[in-house]
Amino acid sequence: MWARSGARRTRYNQNCARCHGLEAVSGGLAPDLRYLEANLDGDEWYIERYRHGYTVNGVTKMPGYDELLGQKAAWAIRTYVETRPDDGALDDFLDQLATIRDGLKNIAEKLVAGTTAYADISAKVDTYKTVLREVANQVSTASGAPAADSAASRAYTALDASAEGVAKATEFLTVGLSVAQ
Ligand code: HEC
């Protein structure tokens, strides 16, 4: 799932970010798309602008993307922007996420050392997954969409009791924490 969300993110960042801001956080050149409501009115307005762009007095302020990128890309990008976390949405959870990240580093060391019983590692990973899930469910979006695609949700999806799963989850948390601070 995170691989797919990565592709949506790339699409957005390659085509829309230079005006609407990296990661959909607008720098003021064009509207902040995270705030476009996640409902039918929002969808309608989104697709209208996406198709036709925006022109004033013959000057193109935004190109139309129907022919350039097509419908499938339109909805992939829409999903990306509407699931961006709201500003500060992770703030209340940073300590919890940092604790889990440090715990995962510890688990990675144990996996390498090979001296800890797998059942113990697996139980610890399950505990972290439960907390990540709870946090992920509480991270709000600005669009009103119920689920944010956050560092917590990505780490939750990636995490399992393998060296690879632990490494990926650690990376998502590290990136999320560095962006938030
Ligand atoms: C060259 C700059 C530029 C690029 C690139 C661009 N936009 Fe825009 N976009 C604008 C401007 C300027 C507006 C404001 C137009 C207006 O006043 O309604 C806008 C408005 C919008 C709106 C309406 C937002 C609102 O709150 O009313 C949507 C939706 C939108 N753009 C989507 C996209 C998507 C999706 C992409 C990438 C595929 C994209 N734009 C690429 C400049 C750009």
Would you state the structure tokens that stand for residue 87, as one six-digit string?
Answer: 């500003």
Q: Whose CA is nearest to atom 7 of ligand 1?
A: 62
Cα separation, 12 vs 14, whole angstroms? 6
Choose one of 41, 45, 49 to mutate for the ligand 1 pocket test, by most ligand atoms within 8 angstroms of C-beta.
49
| Residues 160, 107 contacting (CB under 8 angstroms) | no
Q: Whose CA is nearest to atom 21 of ligand 1?
A: 49
pLDDT tens-digit map of 10-32: 999 999 999 999 989 998 999 99
In sequence order, which residues have a C-beta less than 8 Å from that of residue 64 and are 6 or more positions away? Answer: 50, 51, 52, 53
Q: Whose CA is nearest to atom 39 of ligand 1?
A: 16
Q: How many CB atoms lie within 10 A of CB 9?
A: 20
For ligand 1, residues with CB inside 6 Å are 15-16, 18-20, 30-31, 33, 36, 46, 49-50, 54, 61-62, 65, 77
Cα separation, 112 vs 107, whole angstroms? 9
CA distances from 2 to 56, 64, 81 (A): 38, 28, 15
- On the question of pLDDT at 102 being above 80, the answer is yes
- Specify burial of residue 84 (Cβ count, 10 A radius: 0-12, 13-18, 19+): buried
> pTM score, two decimals?
0.87
Mean pLDDT computed over 57-78:
95
Choose one of 20, 52, 68 to mutate for the ligand 1 pocket test, by most ligand atoms within 8 angstroms of C-beta.
20
One-letter identity of residue 26: S
Reported confidence tier of residue 7, pLDDT bands at 50, 70, 90: confident
Residue 84 Cα, ligand 1 centroid: separation in angstroms? 17
| Residues 52, 64 contacting (CB under 8 angstroms) | yes
Q: Whose CA is nearest to atom 40 of ligand 1?
A: 16
Of 76 and 2, more confident = 76
Q: Residue 97: its pLDDT value, please? A: 97
Residue 145 Cα, ligand 1 centroid: separation in angstroms? 20
Mean pLDDT computed over 149-168:
97
Domains along the chain with CATH numbers: 2-82 (1.10.760.10), 91-180 (no CATH)
